[in-house]
Every structure is written in structure tokens, then in C-alpha cells.
């Protein structure tokens, strides 16, 4: 009986160089696994693999040396610990994320929460080629958002309240892009220089700086045989509703226009960056 390798790959079982052995990629969102997940992964690796796992570059876990005859049983055992296979091939891949504002002091957005919502919305969607989302919480960019087909970066739209300010100068010293200065005893924000990192808000001892969370979105990043930094076509996005309108538009543009086996960046270049920019701005404006 012929082995349907394409279906196995679609379900996360990738062929190894060793005959009838597969490396199973698990579905992991934003790099988060529970203790229960880890226990069942260890059990499967010991019983059905060779006792080790591989942590992928996109925050997933792979269990190598799964035998062809054990594939269905492995899926059943994994399910008892809340785990399931991931996906490979031409579809939306694992959504990656840093820990964001739920854990990290620098975070401007809850990266993991956004990653979960993206996962629920798009994970495993069939497309002409693979498609990657990455979510990072702030300008530190731990997740390297611009390497993804769609990258989302947490930002802060900042505002100074004079009445609460004690002119301590901490915000001016904290700003890494020299966007804050003191003129005649008052704080002046150069909005053209400001990169919306939110450091002034976090450093202020009197809460004289206020922040509105926002999303900075980039498109067409690629990090493989060809390398491109994702580009920004939009102002800051200020609501999740607006964000998901934009991500819907981006992925639909790819689905409608890409040739089989063509990455998003190449589709944008072939069809026209101006046409994509027009579509994405329509989504931004609602």
C-alpha cells in the first residue's frame, strides 16, 4: 500500500532521511506550553521516538523518529495531554509571539493574546504557499516581526500631561531616539522622531506620560534563500477590529493573487506593491 506522504506532511509528520521515520511537528501558539503538554511530549518522545525533541526556530516542538505504524496512536496519546500535530506545507503556519505585556515590563501589547486570536482565525488555512505571522510586544523586537509575511509590533501612542509633571528629566534621558526635550520648563515631544516605544511612560515616576496601545504592522518579510525586511504601509493601528480587518485583507490578497509555490513577497512584487497598498489602506479605513 502506497504511503500518502503529502497528507502526512499536511498533518505535521515530516519525512526523515531514515526510511519510515517521521519528525512530528506539534501545534504550539506563541511558544507557550503547559506542564501537562510537556509531560505528554516527553512520554511520546520516550515511547515512540528516540527520547529527544527539537525546538524549532518558530517556537514549535518536533518529536523525531516516529515510526509510520505508530502515527495514529501517537496522535491519540498526545491528545490525552492537550497536544495536537501542527502543519507543514502551503498553509498558515505556527503563530509566533514574545511574552508581551502579560509578563515583560517592556511590552506594549499582550502578544500571546493576539497570537491566539490569529491562530483561531487563520491557523492551517490552505494557501498557494506557506504564510507566517509573528507578534512582538515592543520596539525591542525580540520576535523580529519584519521577518514574517505579516509582522505585528506593539507600540504606544504617548501623551504628556503637564499638571502631573515634576520636571525630573527622566523621560528625556530614557528616550533612545531623542524625541523628548525640555523647552522653557515644558516637555516637548517630537512626534516625527518618536518611535512609539513607550519607554517614557514606563519610566515616569508621576505618571505624567499616558499611553494608548497600538499595533505597527509590516508586510512581505522573508528570511530564507532571499531576505526581505517587511514594509510598513500604514499608520499605527489602534484597535483589534481594525487590525484583523488588515490581516484579513493581506491574507486574502495573497490567496487571490499568488501563484502556487510563490511566497507573499514575490506576489507583491509581481502584482504590484501599489495595488496591495491600495487594498490594505481600504481595510485600514474600514
Contact 274, 141 (CB under 8 A): no
Per-residue pLDDT at 3: 82
pLDDT in tens, 22-67: 999 999 999 999 999 999 999 999 999 999 999 999 999 999 999 9
Say what the pLDDT of residue 198 is: 97
Give tens-digit pLDDT for 217-258.
999 999 988 999 999 999 999 999 999 999 999 999 999 999
Domain boundary among 45, 79, 113: 79
What is the band of 203 on the pLDDT scale with cuts at 50, 70, 90?
A: very high
Q: Is the pLDDT of residue 156 over 80?
A: yes
Q: How far apart are CA 203 and CA 169, in angstroms?
A: 10
Q: Give the percent of the chain with pLDDT over 70.
A: 100
pTM tops 0.85, yes or no = yes
Range of the domain at 16: 5-79
CATH number of the domain where residue 57 is located: 3.30.70.3340
Please check whether residues 72 and 100 belong to one and the same domain.
no
Which class for 113: exposed (0-12), middle (13-18), buried (19 or more C-beta within 10 A)? middle
Residue found under cell 505579516: 150
Higher local confidence (pLDDT), 22 or 5:
22
Q: Please tell me the distance from the alpha carbon of residue 262 to that of residue 90, in angstroms, as a whole number.
A: 10
Give the pLDDT confidence of 128-138 residue by residue, as tens digits: 999 999 999 99
- What integer is the mean pLDDT of 254-268? 98
pLDDT at 195: 97
* 172 within some domain: yes
pLDDT (0 to 100) of residue 74:
97
Question: Are 164 and 208 spatial neighbours (Cβ–Cβ below 8 Å)?
Answer: yes
Residues 41 and 139 in one domain: no
User: Quick one: what percent of the chain has pLDDT higher than 90?
Assistant: 96
Number of domains the chain is built from: 2
Residue 1 has pLDDT above 80, yes or no: no
CATH number at residue 203: 3.30.413.10
108 and 222 inside one domain: yes
Span 175-197, average pLDDT: 95
Query: Exposure pattern of 188-210 as b/e (b: 16+ CB <10 Å)?
Result: ebeeeebebbbbbbbebeeebbe
Query: pLDDT by residue (tens digit) across 63-90?
Result: 999 999 999 999 999 999 999 999 999 9
Amino acid at each position: 500500500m502506497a504511503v500518502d506522504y503529502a497528507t502526512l506532511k499536511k498533518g505535521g509528520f515530516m519525512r526523515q532521511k531514515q526510511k519510515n521515520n517521521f519528525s512530528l511537528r506539534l501545534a504550539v501558539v506563541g511558544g507557550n506550553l503547559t506542564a501537562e503538554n510537556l509531560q505528554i511530549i516527553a512520554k511520546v518522545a520516550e515511547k515512540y521516538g528516540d527520547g529527544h525533541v527539537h525546538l524549532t526556530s518558530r517556537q514549535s516542538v518536533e518529536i523525531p523518529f516516529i515510526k509510520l505504524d505508530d502515527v495514529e496512536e501517537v496522535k491519540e496519546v498526545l491528545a490525552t495531554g492537550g497536544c495536537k500535530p501542527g502543519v507543514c506545507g502551503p498553509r498558515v503556519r505556527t503563530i509566533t509571539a514574545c511574552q508581551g505585556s502579560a509578563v515583560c515590563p517592556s511590552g506594549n501589547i499582550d502578544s500571546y493574546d493576539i497570537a491566539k486570536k490569529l491562530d483561531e482565525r487563520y491557523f492551517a488555512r490552505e494557501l498557494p504557499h506557506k504564510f507566517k505571522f509573528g507578534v512582538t510586544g515592543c520596539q525591542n523586537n525580540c520576535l523580529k516581526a519584519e521577518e514574517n509575511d505579516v509582522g505585528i509590533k506593539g507600540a504606544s501612542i504617548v501623551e504628556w500631561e503637564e499638571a502631573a509633571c515634576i520636571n525630573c528629566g527622566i523621560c528625556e534621558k530614557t528616550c533612545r531616539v531623542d524625541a523628548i526635550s525640555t523647552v522653557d520648563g515644558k516637555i516637548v515631544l517630537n512626534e516625527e522622531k518618536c518611535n512609539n516605544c513607550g519607554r517614557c511612560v514606563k519610566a515616569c515616576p508621576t505618571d505624567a506620560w499616558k499611553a494608548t496601545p497600538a499595533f505597527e504592522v509590516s508586510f512581505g518579510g522573508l528570511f530564507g534563500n532571499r531576505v526581505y525586511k517587511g514594509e510598513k504601509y500604514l499608520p499605527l493601528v489602534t484597535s483589534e477590529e481594525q487590525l484583523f480587518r488588515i490581516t484579513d485583507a493581506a491574507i486574502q490578497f495573497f490567496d487571490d493573487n499568488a501563484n502556487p509555490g510563490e511566497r507573499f513577497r514575490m506576489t507583491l512584487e509581481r502584482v504590484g506593491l501599489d495595488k496591495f497598498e491600495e487594498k490594505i489602506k481600504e481595510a485600514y479605513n474600514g
